[in-house]
Structures are given as structure tokens and as C-alpha cells.
Structure 1
Amino acid sequence: MHTPALKVAVAGTGGLAQHIAQAALLRGHDVLLLSRNLQEHPEIHQLPVIRVDYALPDSLSTALKGMDTLISTVTNTSAQLALIDACLTARVRRFAPAEFEGLLECRPLACPPSRNRFDVLARLREEKHRLDSTVFVCGLLMERFSPGGLVGSGICSPRGHLKGEGELLLDFRAARAWIPAGETRACFVAARDLAAFVVAALEAREWPEQWRCCGERLTMEELVRIAEEVRGRQFEITETMWEDLNDLHFEKEEKGEWGQACKVDMLLAIERGEFDFAPAEMEVPGCWRPMGLKEWLEEGWRNVDLGDAALESQLEKLDATTLRATLLSIAYPKAAKKLEHCIYCHVTFDANGPDAEMCRVKHFGEPSRGTFTCCGTTYEEEEYGEEEWMEPVEERMPYCFEGPHRTVPWEKGDMRVLDDDEYYYKEDGEVFEDDGRKRWWEELVKDVNFQKLRCGEKIS
């Protein structure tokens, strides 16, 4: 069945707005771009565009007269609230705010003062009976990993943080990655695929409160592996635990290092699952086949000189002895990195680095009657009330074990108890004092089922 052409307005003139406008034109819709400055993006002159002033309501309502749908890519809160008012005045049927990010229910209640986006969402809920709306949840744009990042790909202006090349998760050019530790997942999508999804959704009869658009869902390990495969090099990987990210975020805010604080905040958002979701439950009209990350990276970096050819040319001139000495001096400037996999917390760590002592295993049993069923550790049960409140015991005592990583299972004799309060463990012939938080190791090394507990069968 042929869908009648819709009159679609797109607020903004950046890369995402242009992708949406082009996709709408390809599907036969009438498109109008709203711009504050016609000179800022000369490349949009091939598209229908009108100049507006977000501070003048009449300017907006006049431009939107006769429009069926408005899609905003303008993130400024005041501008979006003005657009909502203009839609109501001009009797626009549908509105999609500039919320092309993560799941609404996973976002923290506190948000940056410069962008009180919850005001926009609250207003849309208030006007739901007069103005239909949805939020397109898309995860992370693949353009973050492009040459020049979001700015270089034309998605946004350079104002703000985390918009340049290599500023989040992957630095493809430098072959480096900084990711949350563990089995964290996130969804990724290319901007043009997101635009095609948004335009296809225009033809749906009903809009849900949020529409999930996922190009590819990956673990952080899969993300790095794909980047290494395309780059042809092993990446230098930094993995950081949730608790360390929290501490680092507080430290960066205290020092006023807002760029770094924003980066750590995004890593925390990824860790808590804000960008991890299943595909849309509702069927999107049309045929939507998003590009995978590997294909996107190959296309985005195909014609970029990364300097590898020049390096290879120089290395070919060296004799075998000099080449070996050169590579060893680069790879092992002081002490050789020895990457290992911990069979209990499942983190890759440097056996010669400070993170070798950072194994943390959460309780895998339930707290019951003042005792954790997994390890037998006891705790004081508290009365909960409005006047005297304590955080849940799972937050007060989150870990069964904190100590050194292990690449082989603990065995009988690796730990022994000297008295009721002092616990010791033995490793490589040395005896170390502990603070009493390894009780479950002492118990489990005596258990015939201990071997079954490693590598994820019960420990998450």
C-alpha cells in the first residue's frame, strides 16, 4: 500500500538533520529544514530550508504551519520547549525531540545543568493528548569512531565534550581502548541508518513512548576485537571497574576537569546499561538493514593514511637484530606487560601491573537472616524507617572477595586461618595478611564442588 507523502520539518542543520532530510526526500515526503543561520552549513542549500528564531514564537509557528511532523536535532532545552509550543500553535500532529541517546529508564535523575532534557520530556508527557511524540533510543553513534569523531563527520558542532576523535571507548588511529570491565554491552548505529529508521517510523500508525533503534549490539570485548581486526593491530586496552570509575568521576569533578569527568560519566552510563537494549518491539515500515560496525569502520577509514605504510617501509630497512631490539624497546620500555585472564572475576589484567591485586567477586548468594548464603559472611540486620535509613546490605557489602587475580584455581593449602579475626592466604610460597574478607575462599577450597565455581557458572 502506498503511503501518502507527509510534510516533515527537521529542526537543525547538522549532519544528523541532513541525513534525516535526505532519507525523507528519498521516501517521497515533503521536507523543510529549520535553521538559525543559513551561512553556518552552506552544504544544505540543496535542501529546502527556512531561517527561524527560537526566541520568536511567531517565527516558529509560521514555519510549521501545515506540517505533519517535526523532528528536532537541536539539543538546547529552551529551543526544544519553544518548538513544542510552536507545534501546539500550528497544530502539528507529531514531535520527536533531540534525544538520540540511551534508554530513558536508565538515565540518572540528575543531569547536566546546561541541558535539562527532562524538562522537555516532562512537557511532552503533559501534552501527549494534543501532540503525539516518541523518543528514538539509538545507543551510541558509530560516527564517534570516525576520523575526526562526531565533529569530523559533521554530526555536531565542536562545542562541548566527547565530540572529537578517539574521545570515547576507542581511539582507532592510536589503537587504544578504554572500556568498562566485565560483560558490559552497548548498541551502536550509523547516523544514516538511524535517519532511515526515523523516517520509516513516520509511516507507523502509532508511536510508542520510546522507539529502540539498534544497528548492532556488542560487548566491549567484541567492540575492541572488531576494531583490532579492521585496524590490523592489537589495541592497548584499559579496563576499569565500576567502583573505580565512580571514584575517578568524583576526583575529576573535584578538580574541575570537566572533559575527563564527562568521559568517565559516559563510561558509567555504558556500564549501568543505558545504551544496551533489545531491538524495537513494533515493526518498522519499510526495509531497514543497518550496517554493522566492522563494515562501517572499513568504509570510514578506507582512505585514511594511518602512517602504517611509512612505518613498515622504515622497518623493512632494518636488519633482523636491530629490528628485534627496536620492537622490544617499544613494546617493553621497562617491564614486560603480561596480560592474563582472571578465572574468577573474568577481567583481563597485567600480571606485572597494579591491577593484578584488583580481583573483585560479587556475592552470588542471597542475604538471608543476617548471613550471605554464598559465603556464610554475617552482617547486622538494620531496622529501616523514614528517620533512620541504611543502604541495602548488598550495597554495603557488595563483594565476597577482594584480592589478587587468579589464573589457576585456588587449592587446599593456599589459605589458612590463624584465629577468628586474622585471615591469611598463601601464593607463590609467600604468606599475605588479609582483612577477613576471604572467608568464602577458605570454605570453598575444602569443597569438592569448588572447581565448578570458576569462570562464570555461579559467579557473575
Structure 2
Amino acid sequence: MVNIAVAGGTGKVGKTILEVLKSQTRHKPFLLTRSSTPSNDDNVTSVTVDYSDITSLAEALERHEIHTVICCLPYEGDALKVGQGNLIKASEASVHTKRFVPSAFGINYPKEAVKELPVLAHYFQAIETLRQSSLEWTLFQNGCFLDYWGHPHIKSYLRPSPFGIDIAGKVAAIPGDGDTRFTVTYSFDVAKYVVAAMDLDEWPETTRIAGDIITWKEFVNLAESITGSKFQVFYDSVEKLERGELTELPSQVPCYATFPKPRFQWFMAIFSRWTADEEVCYIPGELNVKVPDVQPMTVKAMLETYWRG
């Protein structure tokens, strides 16, 4: 048994991983939080930290004998640059801390994407910092989250970010030609794999997870078959997506209340385009082979469970 701390464990992916971590008994879960209010959860120990202070961070890791840090800090503001950057340095300074998981849990981001999404510079910097450190570390890749097509029925802490297919609206806006393979994984399956990987003797630099591997055309065919409805299908060319344009889906409209439409469409056009590139979004599931006890949800299972007509 080792002590495992989750940074950013109160939102989205971090909350999901912490929930699964709390459900097992092999390791003791800790939550690194900026909040000074004690958690009322008896299954997790909350540790108040200041991400701007490397010394106090290291002392907190030492005091609680944290062996592994799982960083789930968001890709917003200075969370990666300051929070994760300092947490890596503090982990290396801590005698007890041996392993580190950087905030990733997504696709194989291309380095040139920094031009469009500057925050990714801090993502790549974390990788270089870890390579130069004495820590054992691994970066988890799982493709796109299957949750986006299970909302609002599926259990998920992720914010709805629909693209490609609107199952409720019976509309599809397929990126590219629809024949490119890409990977999707349910967030709770990602969490199960991450927690299972804590027991592996060795970690590769990249740990790949695949809930399911599918093409957009296959996705639409499954959705039509299982819902019993014919979908209206549009195709968004890569060139169109490169201009930041995409066909609007009815399920995207509610997102504009918290994510202004021009920004949302620009952002989702980037991710839609990436699903047409197997170098980016096709993630083979090597970890699946090592952890056969985890049986991930497939696209077909998700559709049959939440959308059968």
C-alpha cells in the first residue's frame, strides 16, 4: 500500500479518478486542495496546499508520505505553468515521492498545436521537466471522452462538449471523410485504468488506453441502428475546420451560455479536425492488455444503454 495524492481532484477528470481511487483498498487516497475547509469525506485525506510555494508543497508531500502524485489540474490560467510545474519540482524534492502522473488524459497532442492552443506549451514543458527529473512518470492518453455522446444520461463530471454526432437531434457533422479511426474512452473507465496502473512495476513514458476504436461513419451507422432513426449527415472538410468553421449541432447551442459561440466553434473545430488525423486521435490500448480485469464501455454499449429507441 502507498499513499496517492490527486491534485485537482474536485473537478472533472480529477474528481472521477479520486472517486475510483476511494473505492479500492490497496492504496490510501489524498486530495491536494487550495481550500482550507476540511473535507467531510472519511475515505480521503484532504491536504491544503499552496501551488505557488515549492517548499511548502514538498513539505506537505513529505508530511503525508505521498508516494505517487496524480496531477489533474486544468488547462486554464496558470494551473499547468505554475501549479503543475511547481508540483513536479516539489515531488522531486520530497524523499517519499517516487512517481508522478502529469495532467493529460486525452489525445496525442501534436507539438505544432501550441500555435493554436498556447496553453499546450506548458503541457510539453511538463514532459521535458519530468524527463530531466529523477521521478518515474507516465502520461495517460485515452483519446476523446465517450461521455460527450452519453450526456445527459450517462454519469459524468465532464462538461458537455458535443461534436461530430448529436444523438438526440439525429444530426451528424462528420469531420473529414469519416473513415479515419479514432479512440474514445468513458471517463470512469479512464479512472479505473489509471488506478490499476498504480500497481504496475514499471511505467512507460506514455500509457495508452482505448475504450473503443471507431470511425465516424461506423459511429453514425451504430447510432441509426440502435436508435431506430435516420440521421441527417453533413461532412465538414478538414479545410473548413482549419478555418475554424463547423456545422452547428442542436446539442451545441446550450453550451454557448457558458462558452461564447465563436470561441466554442473555433475550439471544437480544432478537436473535430484532430479526429480526422490518426496520428493524433488513434490511441491503441496497450494498457488494456496489461489490465484485462477492466472491461471498458464501447460506443455500441453506450448507445444501447442510454439511447436505444
Per the normalisation by structure 1, the TM-score is 0.55
Determine helix, strand or coil for the equivalent of 1:31: strand
* Cα 1:290–1:244 shift into 2, 3 Å: same
Offset, 1:56: 2.5
Work out the CA distance in 2 between the residues paired with 1:185 and 1:282: 18
Paired amino acid for 2:72: T
| Matches of 2:208 and 2:306, distance apart in 1 | 24
2:15 to 14, 18, 31: 18
- Residues 118, 277 of structure 1: alpha-carbon distance in 2 compared, 3 angstrom cutoff: same
The answer to whether 1:87 aligns with 2:91 is yes
Q: Does 1:192 align with 2:197?
A: no
| Deviation, structure 1 residue 71 | 0.6
Query: 1:142: Cα distance to partner?
Result: 1.0
- State the partner residue of 1:172: 167
Report percent identity of matched pairs: 26
Letter in 1 for 2:170: A
Q: Cα–Cα, structure 1 residues 244 and 88, in superposed 2: closer, same or farther, change >3 Å?
A: same
For 1:232 and 1:43, how far apart are their aligned partners in 2? Answer: 46
- How much does 1:146 deviate? 3.0
* Greater relative contact order structure (CA < 8 Å, 6+ sep): 2
Q: Cα offset for 1:96?
A: 0.7
CA distance in 2, matches of 1:280, 1:19: 22
Q: CA deviation at 1:109?
A: 4.9
1:35 Cα deviation after fit: 1.7
Instruction: Show CA shifts across 1:122-159 (max 9, x none).
Output: 211222xx011111110011111233599x8323xxxx
Determine the structure 2 residue equivalent to 1:140. Answer: 144
Say which SS state the counterpart of residue 238 (structure 1) adopts. Answer: strand
Which residue does 1:126 correspond to in 2? 132
Unaligned segments of structure 1, at least 5 residues = 156-162, 251-255, 303-307, 309-460
Aligned partners of 2:211, 2:186: CA distance in 1, in Å? 7
Unaligned runs of 5+ in 2: 247-260
Cα deviation digits, residues 78-113 of structure 1 (max 9, x gap): 211011011012131111111111125576353523
Aligned mates of 2:228, 2:299 — CA distance in 1:
15
TM-score, normalising length from structure 2? Answer: 0.80
Q: How many residues align?
A: 282
| Alpha carbons 1:228, 1:234 under 8 Å: kept | yes
What displacement does 1:197 show? 0.7
CA distance, structure 1, for counterparts of residue 304 and residue 56 of structure 2: 44
Partner Cα distance (2:27, 2:101) in 1: 17
Higher fraction of helix: 2
- The answer as to 2:257 corresponding to 1:260 is no
CA contact (8 A) 2:210 2:288 kept: no
Deviation at 1:270, TM superposition (A): 1.1
Aligned residue for 2:286, secondary structure, equals coil
* Equivalent runs, 1:10-409 vs 2, <5 Å: 10-12=6-8, 13-25=10-22, 26-37=24-35, 47-65=44-62, 66-75=65-74, 76-77=79-80, 78-91=82-95, 92-104=97-109, 108-116=113-121, 117-127=123-133, 130-148=134-152, 153-155=156-158, 163-165=159-161, 167-182=162-177, 183-248=179-244, 257-273=262-278, 274-280=280-286, 283-285=289-291, 287-300=293-306
By how many angstroms is 1:177 displaced? 1.8
Q: Which amino acid aligns with 1:32?
A: F
**Whose radius of gyration is greater, 1 or 2?**
1
Are residues 15 and 257 of structure 1, via their aligned partners in 2, closer, same or farther at CA, if it must alter by over 3 Å? Answer: closer
Asked whether the 8 Å contact 1:203–1:285 carries over to 2, the reply is: no
Q: For residue 28 of structure 1, report the CA deviation from its aligned partner.
A: 1.8
**1:407-432 CA distances to partner (integer Å, 9 max, x unpaired)?**
xxxxxxxxxxxxxxxxxxxxxxxxxx
The 3 A distance-change label for structure 1 pair 204 and 49 is same
Query: In structure 1, what is the Cα distance between the partners aligned to 2:39 and 2:204?
Result: 35
Aligned AA (1:177): A
CA distance in 2, matches of 1:7, 1:248: 44
- How far apart, in 2, do the equivalents of 1:27 and 1:280 lie? 25
